[in-house]
């Protein structure tokens, strides 16, 4: 079997048994990138020499019997939202075209500490604002299952990289569904941990109270392994929580019994593609067949999620993105008469349309005279959304539903209709607002061969249980073993 | 007596003080003054993408100390907010501050006025980060402005006072009292020249009309007050300016929008810069990168206990316990706790508080000022100064000579007795020796003796003068007088 078809767990086994060397593994994935990424365009930056050097280092340490990390020699693709010391970090934006951070994001440092090989930086919607990766200032990424379709977003590059065998693992960020939705659209596993589980230090901020880092992998064990590596307290992020990190990958096969699955009627409303609905209902049956109890729950505030999200997230973004003004770093317009013009031109030239739209929306939501009606009210409804989940988790272990209302859509299909694009996140958007964990796992394919994702959400800091419940489904299905047929 | 003004001045001060922390409010950069531009910066304080603030807990403790000393109520739950505005010296284009839930509010500060103590209410005290500094290249026509971010992120305490100050002198006294308090507590060094104490003033005047109604002028916010003197002068000037303007235009508060004015120190005038047509919209919202702070009541108690005696209490105790005048108590208090303790030690050792106050507030203070040192670096220990004061009292050394002895002690480091001897100021205290001199003087002045015998008691002064000349003024006058009368009676 080709190395690039293997999971991270399998690769680690082969590496540790000395059946294969890290340089061979990294070389194989670099080769795949060379062949496949010409058409998929998932990567913004690949430094082959640096990756190979890191792999060589791992090999020699392994040869000498020195201690090695949990990911020793496994390549990991990272979204270009993570600051990488000495390596350009654009966040998919023109305004950060020449930004080279002098520091590694906490999660990058964790990857390196566990000897993961950072293989490249992946494409994304500009400042993580989007659901198709089409808002990247640099390139459009194709979905490995059908390159004319989008990989989802905003972490579309990371999801496509894993699905296409260009990296066994990837890191993304999720603010409204930016890990789970592309995972669903690309037929892989993607997880958004509880807010505070992973440090945001070095993650270019979009919406600080929602942003969270999470793993992509072919299966749950891989995702669990990567979560294990990146999770944990970091003094540099005051919102990261100081509680122990379970060894998720070790307990993943332990079934949760008794198990109660919550199904929300709000998740099967208008706009849900019948093929997706059928796959999700069948997945629920798979749980019932394993003895799970299914209870209907209600999330009455969830219809407001999209509205709340587009007030809270844009308000925070309008402030977070204020620093890109052409004064200290980033793009500065060449022509300006005065300071105000320097600001407006630099920002006007540096930001794309969707980012401008959200900055304006957020600025408006916070403006005096409107703040109470929009921002403040949104915070109140956000609280109600959290309360809904708190109540739900008194009755069930996890809430199960669709990740995305449809499978991957055509590139260009929704770019002129922001609202249609926003509705893509309708099922994933509540979890970040409530601060809870969510995961998307493969649960079938449409007739036309596009992957469908099953969305499971769990109570705060119950990632371990969430992974185990998800694994109960994965064990008895084989959707996760399917790989797209790629031309190259 | 100052002439009665035709109006009442109403002043409220907004004071920013830099906290005495080693590091900035949200990162580990140094707060040291005077470093080369941008030497004390890091990704956090220059707002690079992806970095996050981490609260300096020492800054929060110092802030609580200050608020408690200002009799503020401390909120059990407080949060951080972002104040959004664009300016090149503000790297993130928002300032982390506190908006609707400041950590403390409703305090007061007692100041000394000519009419006695007065309580000035404090609206709120909150914490925020400082911005950087713009350096404009004038030659480049403003095209080459540079930014120094050493100050960006330095912890500031904003103390907002109620408009309870009713004269420029009170405004100055308030600032002085605030500075004393904060320096005593080690909260801030309050150096206006270095910008660690900054002050903006909101001022207007109330004019009583002949029909008994009172007209208030529009409030002007005066900025760029860089010294205590500037505050006082600017308030005087601005009040006069508002009065003149009112006489000319008759415009009252609410009829024109609030204005901002700058104080021009060299021209000695306020210059109205702009009228705020609409209130700035800072789009405040809770800072999502920081967690709210809950204040532990036990810790609060500890801090309260650690405050010690505050200046107002010290001042009134010095008056009561030592019988000092309000003036002397004020002078001693203003020098700080250590100086007060020095005074108290000297007062106790000599048993004469008035003398101790005189020597410490005059000679000692003068030396401290001349040498620009603190009392702990003053060369004479309290017992040495007390011993010196005792000598002066016992020997009746005159003030002129006493000052010379004091100066000699400072120079040589020798005791009072030794210095008196060194200077030849030793008092002739040997009764036999003095008697000898008195007898010689009587023998040498037969005419004066004769006059004295005739009843001209003043004639004795001439003989006494001869004795003093002989002793170089180093005999106790009372002793000379006593011996002289005794000997004259015998002769």
pLDDT tens per residue, range A21-33 = 999 999 999 999 9
Reported pTM: 0.90
Question: Is the Cβ of A351 closer than 8 Å to some Cβ of chain B?
Answer: no
3-state secondary structure of A168: coil
**A283: closest CA among A145, A457, A402?**
A402
pLDDT above 70: percentage of residues in chain A = 99
Report the gap between the CA of A321 and the closest CA in chain B (Å): 8
Q: Which pLDDT does position B202 carry in this prediction?
A: 97
B1 falls in which pLDDT band (50, 70, 90)?
very low
Pick B55's closest partner by Cβ from A105, A200, A238.
A238
Res B133 pLDDT > 80: yes
pLDDT tens per residue, range B335-353 = 999 999 999 999 999 999 9
H or E element at residue B159? strand B155-161
The residue with tokens 């459009």 is A140
If you count residue pairs, one on A and one on B, with CB atoms under 8 Å apart, how many are there?
98
- Interface test with chain B among A91, A336, A368, by most B beta carbons within 10 Å: A368
Average pLDDT over residues A225-231: 98
Q: Which residues is A440 bridged to in the sheet?
A: A190, A455
pLDDT tens per residue, range A291-319 = 999 999 999 999 999 999 999 999 999 99
Domains of chain A listed by start with CATH number? 3-256 (3.90.1300.10)
Res A464 pLDDT > 90: yes
Res A478 pLDDT > 90: yes
CA distance A4 to A87: 25
What is the torsional sign of CA A203, A206, A211, A217? negative
Res A488 pLDDT > 60: no
Question: Is the Cβ of A201 closer than 8 Å to some Cβ of chain B?
Answer: yes
Pick A322's closest partner by Cβ from B43, B53, B94.
B94
A192 falls in which pLDDT band (50, 70, 90)?
very high
Res B474 pLDDT > 80: no
CA distance A173 to A175: 7
Report the gap between the CA of B143 and the closest CA in chain A (Å): 9
pLDDT above 90: percentage of residues in chain B = 70
- Higher pLDDT pick, B139 / A135: A135
Domains of chain B listed by start with CATH number? 8-299 (no CATH), 309-422 (no CATH), 431-490 (1.10.10.410)
What is the torsional sign of CA A424, A427, A428, A433? positive
Question: Is the Cβ of B43 closer than 8 Å to some Cβ of chain A?
Answer: yes
Length of chain A (residues):
488
Burial status of residue B491 (CB atoms within 10 A of its CB: 0-12, 13-18, 19 or more):
exposed
pLDDT tens per residue, range A415-458 = 888 888 888 899 999 999 999 999 999 999 999 999 999 999 99
Average pLDDT over residues A51-72: 96
Pick A339's closest partner by Cβ from B50, B88, B291.
B88
Res A127 pLDDT > 70: yes
Q: How far, CA to CA in Å, does B72 sit from each of A87, B126, B190, B193?
A: 50, 11, 20, 28
Mean pLDDT of chain A: 96
ipTM for this prediction: 0.95
Mean pLDDT of chain B: 91
Res B139 pLDDT > 70: no
């Amino acid at each position: 079997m080709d190395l690039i078809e293997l999971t991270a767990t399998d690769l680690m086994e082969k590496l540790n048994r000395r059946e294969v060397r890290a340089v061979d593994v990294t070389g194989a994935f670099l080769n795949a990138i060379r062949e496949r990424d010409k058409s998929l365009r998932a990567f913004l930056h690949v430094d082959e020499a640096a990756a190979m050097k890191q792999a060589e280092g791992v090999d020699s340490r392994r040869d000498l019997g020195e201690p090695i990390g949990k990911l020793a020699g496994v390549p990991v693709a990272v979204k270009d939202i993570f600051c990488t010391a000495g390596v350009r970090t654009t966040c998919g934006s023109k305004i950060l075209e020449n930004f080279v951070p002098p520091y590694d994001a906490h999660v990058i440092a964790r990857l390196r500490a566990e000897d993961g090989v950072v293989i490249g930086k992946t494409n994304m919607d500009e400042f993580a604002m989007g659901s198709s990766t089409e808002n990247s200032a640099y390139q459009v990424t194709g979905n490995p299952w059908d390159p004319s379709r989008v990989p989802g977003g905003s972490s579309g590059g990371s999801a496509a990289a894993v699905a296409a065998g260009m990296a066994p693992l990837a890191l993304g960020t999720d603010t409204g569904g930016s890990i789970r939705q592309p995972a669903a659209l690309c037929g892989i596993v993607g997880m958004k941990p509880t807010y505070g589980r992973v440090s945001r230090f070095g993650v270019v901020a979009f919406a600080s109270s929602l942003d969270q880092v999470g793993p992509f992998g072919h299966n749950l064990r891989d995702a669990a392994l990567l979560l294990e590596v990146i999770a944990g307290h970091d003094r540099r992020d005051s919102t990261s929580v100081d509680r122990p990190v379970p060894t998720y990958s070790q307990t993943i096969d332990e079934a949760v019994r008794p198990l109660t699955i919550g199904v929300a009627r709000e998740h099967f409303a208008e706009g849900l593609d019948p093929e997706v609905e059928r796959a999700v209902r069948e997945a629920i049956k798979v749980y019932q067949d394993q003895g799970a109890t299914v209870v209907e729950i209600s999330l009455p505030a969830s219809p407001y999620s999209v509205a709340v999200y587009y007030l809270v997230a844009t308000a925070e973004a309008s402030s977070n993105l204020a620093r890109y003004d052409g004064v200290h770093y980033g793009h500065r317009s060449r022509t300006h008469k005065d300071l105000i013009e320097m600001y407006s031109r630099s920002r006007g030239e540096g930001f794309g349309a969707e980012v401008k739209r959200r900055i304006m929306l957020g600025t408006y939501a916070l403006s005096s005279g409107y703040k109470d009606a929009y921002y403040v009210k949104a915070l109140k409804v956000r609280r109600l959304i959290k309360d809904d989940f708190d109540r739900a988790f008194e009755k069930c272990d996890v809430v199960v539903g669709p990740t995305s209302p449809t499978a991957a859509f055509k590139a260009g299909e929704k770019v002129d209709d922001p609202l249609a694009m926003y509705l893509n996140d309708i099922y994933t958007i509540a979890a970040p607002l409530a601060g809870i964990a969510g995961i998307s796992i493969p649960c079938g394919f449409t007739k036309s061969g596009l992957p469908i994702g099953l969305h499971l959400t769990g109570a705060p800091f119950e990632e371990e249980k969430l992974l185990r419940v998800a694994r109960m489904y994965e064990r008895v299905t084989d959707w996760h073993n399917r790989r797209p047929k790629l031309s190259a | 007596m100052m002439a009665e003004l035709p109006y009442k001045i109403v002043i409220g001060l907004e004071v920013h003080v830099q906290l005495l922390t080693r590091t900035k409010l949200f990162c580990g950069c140094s707060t040291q003054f005077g470093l080369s531009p941008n030497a004390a910066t890091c990704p956090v304080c220059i707002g690079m993408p992806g970095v996050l603030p981490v609260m300096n807990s020492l800054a929060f403790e110092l802030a609580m100390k200050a608020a408690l000393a200002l009799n503020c109520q401390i909120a059990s739950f407080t949060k951080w907010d972002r104040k959004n505005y664009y300016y090149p010296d503000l790297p993130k284009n928002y300032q982390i501050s506190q908006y609707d839930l400041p950590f403390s509010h409703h305090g007061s500060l007692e100041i000394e006025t000519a009419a006695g103590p007065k309580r000035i209410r404090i609206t709120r005290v909150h914490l925020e980060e400082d911005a950087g500094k713009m350096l404009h290249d004038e030659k480049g026509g403003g095209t080459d402005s540079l930014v120094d971010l050493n100050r960006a992120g330095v912890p500031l305490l904003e103390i907002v006072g109620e408009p309870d100050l009713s004269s420029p002198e009170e405004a100055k006294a308030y600032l002085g009292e605030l500075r004393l308090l904060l320096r005593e507590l080690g909260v801030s060094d309050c150096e206006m020249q270095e910008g660690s104490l900054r002050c903006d003033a909101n001022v207007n005047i109330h004019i009583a009309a002949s029909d008994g109604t009172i007209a208030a002028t529009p409030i002007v916010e005066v900025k760029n007050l860089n010294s205590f003197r500037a505050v006082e002068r600017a308030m005087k000037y601005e009040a006069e300016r508002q009065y003149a303007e009112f006489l000319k235009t008759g415009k009252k508060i609410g009829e024109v929008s609030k204005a901002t004015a700058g104080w021009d120190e060299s021209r000695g005038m306020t210059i109205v810069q702009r009228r705020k047509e609409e209130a700035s919209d800072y789009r405040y919202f809770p800072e999502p990168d920081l967690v709210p702070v809950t204040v532990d009541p036990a810790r609060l108690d500890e801090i309260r206990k650690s405050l010690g005696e505050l200046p107002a209490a010290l001042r009134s105790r010095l008056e009561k316990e030592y019988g000092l005048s309000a003036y002397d108590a004020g002078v001693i208090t203003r020098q700080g706790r250590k100086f007060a303790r020095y005074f108290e030690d000297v007062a106790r050792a000599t048993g004469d508080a008035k003398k101790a106050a005189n020597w410490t507030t005059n000679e000692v203070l003068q030396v401290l000022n001349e040498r620009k040192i603190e009392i702990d670096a003053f060369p004479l220990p309290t017992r040495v100064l007390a011993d010196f004061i005792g000598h002066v009292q016992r020997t009746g050394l005159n003030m002129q000579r006493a000052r010379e002895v004091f100066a000699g002690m400072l120079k040589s480091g020798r005791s009072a007795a030794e210095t008196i001897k060194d200077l030849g100021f030793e008092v002739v205290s040997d009764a036999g020796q003095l008697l000898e001199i008195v007898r010689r003087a009587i023998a040498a002045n037969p005419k004066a003796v004769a006059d004295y015998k005739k009843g001209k008691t003043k004639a004795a002064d001439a003989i006494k003068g001869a004795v003093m000349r002989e002793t170089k003024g180093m005999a106790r006058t009372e002793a000379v007088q006593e011996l002289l009368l005794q000997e004259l009676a015998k002769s």
